[in-house]
Chain A
Amino acid sequence: MADPMHQFQIQKIVELPTVTVPGLGAIDLSITNSVFAMLLAATLIIVFYAAAARKAVVPGRLQTVGEMLYGLVDGLAESIIGHDGKKFLPFVFTLFAFVLFMNLQGMFLVFTATSQLAVTLTLGIMVILTVVGVGFAKNGIKFFKLFAPSGVPWPLYFLLVPIEILSFLIRPITLGLRLFGNMLGGHVVLKIFAGFVVALGGLGVLGWAGAALALSSVIALTALEFMVAFLQAFVFAVLTCVYLNDVVHLDSH
């Protein structure tokens, strides 16, 4: 049976020189299958929106889908962050579209960039650094109020502040791990069940029944994975909005 983890192996497509950054070590800038998947996703988003962003008053199919996705994120930012949501919409939308396209690409091609921990963790850290940046830019030193919610008897702060700090610091990790875990798990399970079909198919008549069962599972799981691909991108966008809202509306925190 094929190795279910082999699909996650990084492979070089175009060799590029390794750059040595002082303090960080050697960074291999070769275009790997992961980098290619990210490039392809970004290119597809740009091509898609270049075609979908039209001025037509009565939209065609492409424009309808494009505006629907935009409207989805717009509604999300508006409902979670409120009026200030418009400012963060491009950032949230870029995250959403990028993650969604990488997830969906994994359903059609052999490699899923969002199943790489390096990618999802970087995205998570990027979100949190943005949140911290926005928090400081908007509230200055009051940003630290985030860790000390008001309306609590003061002795509780000894317990509450460390918990709040910990929960804040763990956010990029949960953000990255959630997406990574969902993509990894889904694709592993798909691969294993698909492997069953081949393995059981070779075992004779009884095996065929098992193979048919495994095949129907693969079909059902594929449908599920499409949903997960969309849902995880959506969750990523929702959580980004929630974290941004925390620092945008720090006074009401």
Chain B
Amino acid sequence: MATENHGTVESTEAPGHESGGLPQLQFQHWGGQIVWLLLIFAVLYVVLSKGLLPRVSGAIDERGAKIAGDIADARRLKDEAEAQARAAAAEVAEARAKAQKTAADAKAKASAEAAERQAKEEAVLAEKLAAAEASITTARDEAMSHVRTVAEETAGAIVEKLTGKAASAAELKAALA
């Protein structure tokens, strides 16, 4: 079917043409087309190369530069943030160390004060103790001396009662020694 139709196409083709060949080979039209083409191409070339293409490439370059700049900015900011984070961490560590030191100092000071106070109290107590002991000793000595006189008196009284005559002090002392 196709070939049949193709045949009719070819047969009707011939009378349509003045020259019988391709319309493109009608050379009387060539000169005008060539002259116009060169003219149009030259104008187009000048307009594109001087005016429009630099704008296009400028926009592309600008975009590339902007993207590169933005990436560089972002990288710089990231580095800065990291440095700040490191500084903050160092500060925290320092503060912690300082706080620990302060706490330790306070503790040491408190315990030193406590020890001092304790020592003072102990000294006072020891003093009191010593005084008490001294007074006890004197009291005892006194009592002991009293005991002797009481013993002498008692012995004298007993001797007087039993013998009817009083023994001399020297005799009593010798008997009790």
Interface residues of A (CB under 8 A from B): 1, 3-6, 8-10, 24-32, 34-35, 38-39, 42, 45-46, 49-50, 52-57, 59, 63, 66-67, 70-71, 74, 89-91, 93-94, 97-98, 115-119, 122-123, 126, 180, 184, 192, 195-196, 199-200, 210
**A28 x B28 contact (CB < 8 A):** yes
A-B contact pairs, 5 of them (CB 8 A): A5-B17, A32-B32, A45-B48, A192-B9, A196-B2
A199→B5 contact, CB < 8 A: yes
Chain A residues whose CB sits within 8 angstroms of the CB of B37 once the complex forms: 38, 118-119, 122-123
Option from A8, A30, A42 in Cβ contact (under 8 Å) with B44: A42
Contact mask for chain B residues 33-54; partner A; CB cutoff 8 A; 1 contact, 0 none: 1111110110111011100110
Query: By the criterion CB–CB under 8 Å, are B44 and A55 in contact?
Result: no
Main secondary structure of the interface of A (DSSP, over half): helix
Contact B23 A66 (CB under 8 A): no
- Say whether chain B's binding surface is mostly helix, strand, loop, or mixed: helix
* A-side contacts of B30, CB under 8 Å: 118
User: Which residues of the partner chain A approach B163 to less than 8 Å between Cβ atoms?
Assistant: none
* Contact status A115-B24, CB under 8 Å: yes
Q: Which residues of B contact A116 (CB under 8 A)?
A: 24, 33
CA distance A30 to B29 in the complex (A): 9
CB pair A67–B26 under 8 Å, yes or no, is: no
Q: B12 is contacted by which of A3, A35, A45 (Cβ under 8 Å)?
A: A3
Interface residues of B (CB under 8 A from A): 1-2, 5-6, 8-9, 12-13, 16-17, 22-26, 28-38, 40-41, 43-45, 47-49, 52-53, 55-60, 62-63, 66
Q: Which residues of A contact B60 (CB under 8 A)?
A: 67, 70-71
B55 proximity list for chain A (CB < 8 A): 53-55
Given known pairs A8-B24, A42-B43, A94-B41, the reply for A3 and B32 (CB within 8 Å) is: no
A5 to B22, Cβ gap below 8 A?
yes
Q: How far is the CB of B17 from chain A (nearest CB, A)?
A: 7
Give the complex CA separation of A94 and B1 in angstroms: 45
Given A35-B32, A38-B36, A67-B59: A98 touches B52 (CB 8 Å cut-off): no
CB-based contact A3/B44 at 8 Å: no
Bound-state Cα–Cα, A14 to B16, Å = 24
CB closest chain-B residue, reference A74: B57
The answer to whether A180 touches B24, judged by C-beta atoms less than 8 angstroms apart, is: yes
Residues from chain B with Cβ under 8 Å of A97 in the complex: 44, 48
CB–CB B29/A27 < 8 A: no
Contact A9 B23 (CB under 8 A): yes
Question: Whole-angstrom distance from the CB of B157 to the nearest CB of chain A?
Answer: 134
What residues of B have a CB within 8 angstroms of the CB of A56 in the complex? Answer: 59
Q: What is the chain B residue whose CB lies nearest that of A4?
A: B9
Residues of A within 8 A of B48 (CB): 45-46, 49, 90, 93-94, 97
B58: chain A residues within 8 A (beta carbon): 55
B contact residues around A63 at 8 Å (CB): 59
A97-B48, A116-B24 known; A126+B31 contact, CB < 8 A: no
Closest CB in chain B relative to A8 CB, distance in Å: 4
Cα distance, A161 to B19, chains bound together (Å): 40
List 6 tightest A-B contacts by C-beta distance, closest first: A90-B49, A27-B31, A53-B55, A3-B16, A49-B52, A10-B29
Chain A residues within an 8 Å CB radius of B24: 8, 115-118, 180, 184
Question: A8 with B13: in contact, given A38-B36, A45-B44, A89-B53 (CB under 8 Å)?
Answer: no
B23 CB, min distance to chain A CBs, angstroms: 4
Given known contacts A3-B12, A122-B38, what 18 new A-B pairs fall within 8 Å (CB)?
Answer: A3-B13, A10-B33, A27-B32, A28-B28, A29-B36, A30-B32, A38-B37, A38-B40, A42-B41, A54-B55, A54-B59, A66-B56, A90-B48, A93-B48, A118-B34, A119-B33, A195-B9, A196-B5
Asked if A49 and B9 sit within 8 Å, CB to CB, the answer is no
Minimum C-beta distance from A15 to chain B (A): 11
Determine whether the beta carbon of A28 is less than 8 Å from that of B8.
Answer: no
Which of B13, B49, B52, B66 interacts with A5 by CB under 8 Å?
Answer: B13
